[in-house]
Amino acid sequence: MSVPSDCDQRDERKGWMGDAALTSEEALFNFDMPAFYQSFLLNIQDAQGADGSVPDTVPLTFGSQEGDPSWGSAYPTIVERM
């Protein structure tokens, strides 16, 4: 309940950054979730590397610290939509 996940029915209950960015606009608009995403942004900030990179998943449980470009751009994308 604390991170956006893509497949709750399977064992992929991780905060994938790409999925979080893609669904943030509709979730904020349709489900009034700014408090949820504010908390998730703090989690991203905690997981952020010293060089500014963010991981593929937040919290980092799978993937690499330097996320793929689409996944790494989730941070500014979600901030922009807030």
pLDDT digits (tens, 9 = 90+) for 35-79: 999 999 999 999 998 988 888 888 887 766 777 787 888 888 989
pLDDT digits (tens, 9 = 90+) for 5-25: 766 666 667 788 888 888 889
pLDDT value for 63: 65
Answer yes or no: is 21 within a domain. yes
N residues, the chain:
82
- Global pTM value: 0.81
> What is the count of structural domains for the chain?
1
Q: Which domain holds residue 53?
A: 17-81
Residue 45 C-alpha from the chain's centroid: 10
Answer yes or no: is 28 within a domain. yes
Tell me how far apart the alpha carbons of residues 53 and 26 are, in angstroms, rounded to a whole number.
25
Answer yes or no: is 10 within a domain. no
